[in-house]
Amino acid sequence: MNIQYAQLLNCQVCPQNCRVNRYETTGFCKADYRLKINLAHLHHGEEPVLSGTNGSGTIFFSHCNLRCVFCQNYTISHLGWGTYYNEEECAQIMLKLQEAGAHNINLVSPTQYTPQLVQSIKMAKSNGLEIPVLWNSNGYENVSSLQSLSGLIDIYLPDFKYAHSFYSKKYSSAKDYPEIAINALEEMFKQVGHLQLDSNGIAKKGLIVRHLVLPNRISGTKEVLYMLYEHFGPELALSLMAQYYPTGQANEFFELNRGLRKEEYEEAVETVEALGFKNLYLQQLYNSPEWTPDFQPHSEVFNGKKLHFKGKI
Ligand code: SF4
């Protein structure tokens, strides 16, 4: 067993530090030792530098190491809908997405599978994967796990969700989220630096941080933006997201049970502009689920470009 897989025997892959043997049981994330995928397709709804004209080759992994009550991918992150694939099959999916014209391989919610994905990415690269590989995570990650990805990931796309631990504990089950996430972002930045685009305006390397503005200032947006500015300066590529709508278990929380208001997003935009962030991605307010991929209970891997992967490849 190589050192990557040995980590699964006493799992501390992420900051939940469950110390469980994932060959026998599961920890907080509910992922065992096998890669589980819900969906792979060409996604056109990411930031324009990622989706481009052909789409981002997105692979959605099942389970998650956070438990956000408002998760927009609730069925796969909390309920774990998906199908098991081994590392080689996952590498083949990456290569199929490249063949289909994807601008990048976009690994969504990958953290709990870091050791397995190190192997998969290496396999895909040794079999001809050339497009950038993108790590699309919630930001709640160990620096040591991220270090194992150094040289394999071209673009990091983490969230920075909360400024205040009170809210990160209450709504995502991670009291230490703010400090853990800022350390994780520092490591990502160390590996890839600021965002770089190719001659067609498509991302080829760098860090893009996403922040979803939550209602009632729950995300601490102003403080988040100041922290990001202080750590990374105004060159940081920043995606300020307005797409919040109550889903998952959000309706159990009065303060989260409505869409974002125009003035709440405007306040966030005013702050980024006042701070002088130069590489900004902003959204229209659209408070509806229509932008969220429609995950099916047993959907096999497929993509939206008439490449239909039925069952295992
Ligand atoms: S990856 Fe899963 S099992 Fe491992 S420490 Fe994190 S939450 Fe626990």
Query: Which whole number is the average pLDDT over 58-68?
Result: 96
Residues 6+ apart with CB under 8 A from 141: 14, 15, 111, 114, 158, 180, 181, 184
Among protein residues, the one with the nearest Cα to ligand 1's atom 1 is 112
User: In the predicted model, what is the mean pLDDT of residues 9-14?
Assistant: 97
According to the model, what pLDDT value does residue 302 have?
34
pLDDT (tens digit per residue) in 288-298: 444 444 433 33
Average pLDDT of the residues in 233-239 = 96
The answer to whether position 65 is within a domain reads yes
Ligand 1 atom nearest to 112, measured from its CA: 1
Q: What's the gap in Å between 192 CA and the centre of ligand 1?
A: 25
Is 306 among the domain residues?
Answer: no
Q: What is the pLDDT of residue 284?
A: 75
Does residue 20 belong to any structural domain of this protein? Answer: no
> Once rounded to an integer, what is the mean pLDDT over residues 72-79?
91
**Distance from residue 89's CA to the centre of ligand 1 (Å):** 23
What does the pLDDT read at residue 5?
A: 82
Whether 185 maps to a domain, the answer reads: yes
Residues 300, 303, 309: CA angle, nearest 5 degrees: 45
**Overall number of domains in the chain:** 1
Protein residues with CB under 6 Å of any ligand 1 atom: 11-14, 16-18, 20, 27-29, 31, 65, 112
Position 303 in a domain: no
Mind listing the pLDDT tens digit for each residue in 41-55? 999 999 999 999 999
CB 283 within 8 A of CB 293: no
Looking at ligand 1, which residue's alpha carbon is closest to its atom 4?
11
Task: State in Å: Cα 202 to ligand 1 middle.
Answer: 33
Give, for ligand 1, the residue of 33, 35, 65 to mutate: max count of ligand atoms closer than 8 Å to Cβ: 65
The answer, yes or no, to whether residue 307 has pLDDT greater than 70, is: no
Q: Is residue 298 part of a domain?
A: no
Is 115 part of any domain? yes
Instruction: Answer whether residue 1 shows pLDDT above 90.
Output: no
Question: In angstroms, what is the span from residue 307 Cα to ligand 1's centroid?
Answer: 33
Give the pLDDT score at 36.
Answer: 96
Task: For residue range 237-257, list pLDDT tens digits in order.
Answer: 999 999 899 988 999 999 999
CATH classification of the domain holding 106: 3.20.20.70
φ/ψ of 107, rounded to 5, equals -90, 110
When pLDDT is cut at 50, 70 and 90, the band that residue 149 belongs to is very high
- Mean pLDDT for the chain overall: 90
CA-63 nearest atom, ligand 1: 2
Q: What is the pLDDT of residues 262-305, one digit of tens each?
A: 999 999 999 999 999 999 999 876 654 444 444 333 333 333 32
- In this prediction, residue 108 carries a pLDDT of 97
Which pLDDT tens digit goes with each residue over 96-136?
Answer: 999 999 999 999 999 999 999 999 999 999 999 999 999 99
Q: Do the domain assignments include residue 302?
A: no
CA of 23 to the centre of ligand 1 (A): 12
Amino acid at 161: K
Q: What whole-number distance in Å separates Cα of residue 129 and Cα of residue 123?
A: 9
- Residue 204: give the domain boundaries: 33-291
Angle, CA of 56, 194 and 54, to the nearest 5°: 15
| Ligand 1 centroid distance, CA of 15 (Å) | 7
Tell me what pLDDT residue 293 has: 42
Average pLDDT on 223-229 reads 98
Task: Check if the beta carbon of residue 31 is closer than 8 Å to that of residue 111.
Answer: no
